[in-house]
Structure 1
Amino acid sequence: MASLSTSAAPLSLLVIFYMTTALFMSSHVVTARYHHHGHRGHHNKKQHKHNSHISYPPSISPEPSDSPVDIGFYDVRSFGAQGDGIADDTEAFKAAWDAACQVESAVIHVPVGYSFMIQSTIFTGPCQNGLVFQGPNGSTLPGPCDSPIAIRFFMSSNLTVQGIKMKNSPQFNFRFDNCKNVHIESLHITAPAWSPNTDGIHIEQTSNVEIYDSLISNGDDCVSIGAGCYDVDIRNLTCGPGGHGISIGSLGNHNSRACVSNITVRNSVIKGSDNGVRIKTWQGGYGALSGVSFLNIHMDNVRNPIIIDQFYCLSKDCSNHTSAVSISDIEYSSIKGTYDIRSPPMHFACSDTIPCTNITLSDIELLPAQGDLVLDPFCWNAYGGQETLIIPPIFCLLEGNPPAVFARNDLGYCS
């Protein structure tokens, strides 16, 4: 069973389904308890090829073409959905939502075995308690698509997303912005390894997050953690084959402030990816990243198993800046497996002016998947040390604390 639920506490929830191709629905269930949902006036000004449809709750629920079999049971076909993979079923889905939204414990049913065509759509409340959306276990068909996110949650609290299967999302699969108390579990996300920007789960300005027991194989970050996130616990993930591993960042883009703290990633597997556990920041940003633990991670033929990159840039003409997001208190423990020798297994490229501090490594055992052992981890302006013998050994970390000329505490920006 797949569930998407919220607690009985008042909240604001906006669920956005961006799917401009066909959805193949199964009997998986998405449930939600909506209490106070507000559209906060955030509008995307980009011109799309398809118009977005926003479903506003009517004063009187619309009548379906055929009455539902049971009171409170709303089959999208009863509202005119064809499910033939050709007709546009967007209005039927909106009508079913609007009707069910007014009824407590209503069920919106999307039957198995049909191909429903839905344009970019926003389903809004307020809705009665206990609304159940049967679906989606969806996939998108090849074709033009300009929607950046399949499912987005904005300003939501006490939220659970569980047991959903996504295939070939146009770009981001799930995104959580300005959310609190989020539990994500048992997701299965797949996209081609060559597909750009198909991040599995992205969180931004979101706190108290649990991401558990999921499989993500895609063409970009398995999980990406953006600015403003804290108290994040990730465990029992399988990332890959393909993709860019688990990333904190990128932080500080466009000279912005970024505050991230108390992040734990543990008991997970990363395989066949360009990166393993990665921290990436732009030059010119400010703020602080602190209190990060990567524990018991297995790497399988990963190109950059452990990497901090404070010179992240998507082009060749990024200018140098003296400002940077400060990085401190980063723990790597029990990280084992194999790496692709095209890159060193450990890479710590810290800011020229604001060093990384208190990087600790213990019980690291990384061996080449093929070829000879790379005995040259990379360090630049990185302070820390190894607490146990590790493979390969690392001697390039600077000991102690940086000199006074580098002393700068950006935690003040984040208090």
Structure 2
Amino acid sequence: MKSSWVLNTLFVFVILVFFFLFVQGKLPSSTKHRQLQALSRKSKPGSKTTVVFNVLSFGAVGNGITDDSQAFNKAWDSACQSKKSALLLVPAKYSFMIQATIFRGPCKSRLIFQIDGALMAPDGPKAWKQKNGKLDSWVVFQSITGMSLQGDGLIDGRGEKWWNLHKRPEKAISFDFSFELTIRGVRVENSPKFHMAFNMCKNVHVERISIKAPANSPNTDGIHLEKTNNLKIYNSFISSGDDCISIGTGCHNVDIRNVTCGPSHGISIGSLGRDKSRACVSNITVSDSVIKHSTNGVRIKTWQGGSGAVSKITFQNIKMDTVLNPIIIDQFYCLDNMCPNQTSALSISDVSYKSIRGTYDVSGPPVHIACSDSVPCRNVTLSGVQLRPAQGKSLLKPFCWEAYGSIYTHPSSTLPPVSCLLNGPPKKIAKFDVDHHSQC
């Protein structure tokens, strides 16, 4: 009797343990077949049903050598045409090499592109299949609404063999004509040129991403924006051979917060106005961030001869760590120092620097504000600027040219003391300066 009671109790206990593990989803899956079944089943987050499309189920090999482009295209087409919410899965522990690919929308429902493994570009020029003799961007998402690109995996541009070449693929990852995007958690490394770009996009949220390339890799901007509105970049790390973030024409309402940048060329608005082009940028905020071991900190750069306007720019609570040019406005931007002085220029106004602190390299002035002779900068304000030379060397004087604005703290309490800003608005504002603002 006692033995029977013990066996019955033990049996009930085992059943309860298995039931608990089942509820918690912790039962082991012993074979690859069962794992793929689990990945391919339907689940219901909230009120919607999500269907998983695993690239392995579409013929991808994932050994880092085989061209898996066709499998990815098939998986994308199936996921994009799904009437239910779809998750395209790049599984962990696999490396998938794909050629230059365009993932086109619109899709029938919202889609999650989940990268848990590694996504790899072809290994250099000899492995890159050119289309009509053109070097395309590597992975392009086009005309997509409501997509999330997420995961803990790696996007490897394998750009090392391209960096000494003049002609290179422009971008590793590009989003064109897309809306309501979320990019979260992914790592992007070693792009041939720009790592990630947004062109003509709207309502974009970038969170917790990492971008990394050597400091000597040319033109490897971390994130480039063009004609993109309502974009947020939060809690991310970017280290590259060019700008961490570069903001081009047509960008408005951009919020950059808690970004660690460097080594790099800093965070830049521009360059704008090249070849007498028109550019408009407004409502840009960079805050609560760190820029370290970089040639520039926060920068606005424009070419002579352009038109348009840059306005309502805020740089706030930024720590500089051994930065060559922490604060810089350069309206004489020129790559070869052979550009002629011109009358026309972009208008720059309402630029605020608040609580910019840290150290600078003594090779150049920590504050460099060089504005157009005919279109002076207006309403440039500084408050709480404390920039000391690295390694305890002597302070360098700020440089200002045709820059009008004010300092909200006493000039002597600002480090270095900034007394070169001209008071008030310019006495004479060129007509085309007003026109540029009204047209933007």
TM-score with structure 1 setting the length: 0.80
Inter-partner Cα distance in structure 1 for 2:319 and 2:87? 41
- Partner residue, 2:310: 289
Other-structure match for 1:160: 182
Residue 204 of structure 2 aligns with which residue?
182
Q: Distance in 1 between matches of 2:437 and 2:300?
A: 21
Q: What CA distance in whole angstroms lies between the structure 1 residues aligned with 2:157 and 2:179?
A: 28
- The partner residue of 1:328 within 349, 373, 394 is 349
Q: 1:133 and 2:105 equivalent?
A: no
Residues 1:314 and 2:293 aligned together:
no
> Does residue 116 in structure 1 map to residue 96 in structure 2?
yes
Q: 1:121 to 1:382 in 2, by over 3 A?
A: same
Q: Report the AA paired with residue 400 of structure 1.
A: G
Output the amino acid matched with 1:102. Q
Tell me the SS of whatever aligns to 1:234: strand
Determine whether 1:80 maps to 2:59. Answer: yes
Which residue, out of 265, 268, 274, partners 1:253? Answer: 274
CA separation in 2, counterparts of 1:280 and 1:149? 22
Secondary structure at the counterpart of residue 370 of structure 1? helix
- Find out whether 1:214 has 2:236 as its counterpart: yes
Contact kept in structure 1, 2:375 and 2:429, CA below 8 Å: no
Residue 249 of structure 1 deviates from its aligned partner by 0.7
Query: Cα deviations across residues 119-147 of structure 1 (Å, max 9, x unaligned)?
Result: 11001123232333221532233554532
Shift of 1:365: 0.5
Separation in structure 2 between the aligned mates of residue 181 and residue 238 of structure 1, nearest angstrom: 22
Q: Distance in 2 between matches of 1:329 and 1:95?
A: 50
Contact 2:347 2:376 survives alignment (8 Å):
yes
CA positional deviation for 1:313: 1.0
Identity of aligned residues (%): 57
Superposition pairs for residues 292-307 of structure 1, below 5 Å? 292-307=313-328
What does the per-residue CA deviation read over 1:174-215, in whole Å, with 9 as the maximum and x for residues that have no partner? Answer: 111111222111111111111111111111111112111111
Preserved contact between residue 213 and residue 220 of structure 2 (Cα < 8 Å): yes
Which protein has greater RCO, CA pairs closer than 8 Å, 6+ apart? 1
Count of residues paired in the alignment: 349
Cα distance in 2 for partners of 1:348, 1:359 equals 9
Between the aligned partners of 1:258 and 1:238, the Cα distance in structure 2 is 28
Letter in 2 for 1:80: G
| Aligned with 1:404 (options 397, 409, 428) | 428
Partner Cα separation in structure 2 for residue 254 and residue 291 of structure 1: 24
Q: Which moved more, 1:202-211 or 1:98-107?
A: 98-107
SS at match of 1:322: coil
Match of 1:77, SS? helix
- Asked if the contact 1:76/1:96 (under 8 Å) is kept, the reply is yes
In the other structure, the counterpart of 1:378 is 399
Partner of 1:268: 289
For residues 73 and 329 of structure 1, what CA distance do their matches in structure 2 show? Answer: 48
User: Could you tell me which amino acid in structure 1 is paired with residue 72 of structure 2?
Assistant: F
Larger radius of gyration: 2
Give, as a single letter, the amino acid of the residue that structure 2 aligns with 1:317: M
Is 1:92–2:63 an aligned residue pair?
A: no
List alignment gaps of at least 5 residues for structure 2. 1-35, 43-50, 116-152, 163-167
Q: What code does the residue aligned with 2:329 have?
A: I
SS in 1 for 2:291: strand
Task: Evaluate the alpha carbon distance shift between residue 85 and residue 309 of structure 1 in structure 2; reply closer, same or farther with a 3 A threshold.
Answer: same
Q: 1:181 to 1:69 in 2, by over 3 A?
A: closer
| Secondary structure in structure 2 of the residue aligned to 1:97 | helix
CA contact (8 A) 1:325 1:410 kept: no
For 1:99 and 1:233, how far apart are their aligned partners in 2? 35
- Residue 364 of structure 2 contacts residue 396 of structure 2 at CA under 8 Å; is this kept in 1? no
CA 1:400–1:70 in structure 2 vs 1: closer, same or farther (change >3 Å)? Answer: closer
Query: 1:412 offset after TM fit, Å?
Result: 4.0
TM-score (norm 2): 0.75
Q: Compute the displacement of 1:354 (Å).
A: 0.9
Change (3 A) 1:311 1:79: same
Deviation, structure 1 residue 265: 1.1
Task: Provide the secondary structure at the position in 1 that maps to 2:112.
Answer: strand
CA distance in 2, matches of 1:70, 1:405: 66
| Deviations 1:16-53 (CA, angstroms, capped at 9, x unpaired) | xxxxxxxxxxxxxxxxxxxxxxxxxxxxxxxxxxxxxx
CA contact (8 A) 1:120 1:147 kept: no
Cα distance 1:159–1:108, how it changes in 2: closer, same or farther (>3 A)?
closer
**Cα offsets for 1:283-324 (capped at 9, x unmatched):** 010111111111111100000000000011112322221100
Question: Helix, strand or coil: the match of 1:277?
Answer: strand
The residue number in structure 1 matching 2:41 is 70
Q: Is the CA contact (8 Å cut-off) linking 1:154 and 1:178 kept in structure 2?
A: yes
| Residues 402-411 or 268-277, more deviating | 402-411
Query: Higher mean Cα deviation, 342-351 or 391-400?
Result: 391-400
